Structure 1
């Protein structure tokens, strides 16, 4: 029951996407990253729930492609 509720939860889905963003980009999201967070959410929904689609969307985003290296 809980897993089904989480699977249907918009908030849980967006939370997972934010955590993936933070992991792959190595920083917290900023207001300027809003489109970068919207795109993987749409990719997830369009793919029928593929986490791979989320990762591909994040790794091909401008936020990832033009990120600054950490010193």
Structure 2
């Protein structure tokens, strides 16, 4: 059935009232928080230093002939 203009206005007014009661949609309310890394920068650099330093030390040991 086709809505009359009066019925359409009434439906729009009702929808506006219901939207105010419900509030804002969830995505609008939630602000995106930048995701933090699970490991701090200090520990990340320490891990890289240990791994790369060990690799370089092993390469120097192998190339220089010390066993």
TM-score by length of 2: 0.30
By relative contact order (CA 8 Å, sep 6+), the higher-ranking structure is 1
The TM-score normalised by the length of structure 1 is 0.29
Higher helix share: 1
Bigger-Rg structure (1/2):
2
